[in-house]
Amino acid sequence: MSETALELLHRRRSVVAKMLMEPGPDAQQLEMILTAAVRVPDHKMLSPWRLTVFEGDGRRAFGAILAGVSCLENEELIFSADAIQAERVRFERAPIVIAVISKMKDTKPVPQWEQILSAGAVCQNILIAASALGYSAQWVTEWLAYSQRLRPVLQLGEGERVAGFVYIGTAKEAPKERGRPVLDQVVGQWQIPGQVPVVD
């Protein structure tokens, strides 16, 4: 890995969606991000994921659906115009939103857990690719990823679920660094156990 790539990984951090703005990636840059997204570990080349891009008027149309569904799922919102409007413009917080859909397949010998991890790697690659192009991004799920009413809207089939929505745009201001794990607290060296179990 080049020093530049290491530096990118060391300084990358998420920027919350509400702190993103135009411009977002153009068509060529978006293709670069999506190309990087699908270059992930994928046992048996199952491609256990798919991606849906929301941009332009598509974000607004989806927001109108979110506003209606949110009222069905939380009756208190019906009495809050601000809350309904927040759902209506949820996907307009960033120029581009990419939904990463996990497509678990009943394919042996690939465990479904590995397929889910592969979808997570897609989300991470999107974050890194966006950052490499000078943009900021956030990977979230939020309530809509778990809504049963939105499954047909997102065209989720059997075995499919939302791994995340990745918002991409330009940061309104430079993000502040946050605390990171101390390596000594999360990394250890394997040692031979004092008593090794006997396997027949």
Can you read off the two tokens belonging to residue 16? 């919350």
* Candidate from 4-8, 68-72, 77-81 with smallest mean pLDDT: 77-81
Question: Residue 1 pLDDT more than 60?
Answer: no
Residue type, 150: L
pLDDT tens digits for range 107-163: 888 999 999 999 999 999 999 999 999 999 999 999 999 999 999 999 999 999 999
DSSP state of 113: H
Classify 15-186 by CATH class.
alpha beta
Question: Residue 98 pLDDT more than 90?
Answer: yes
Q: Residue 142 has what pLDDT? A: 95
Phi, psi of 27 (to 5 degrees): -60, -40
pTM above 0.85, yes or no: yes
Q: How far is it, in rounded angstroms, from Cα 158 to Cα 151?
A: 10
Q: Which helix (H) or strand (E) holds 49?
A: strand 49-55
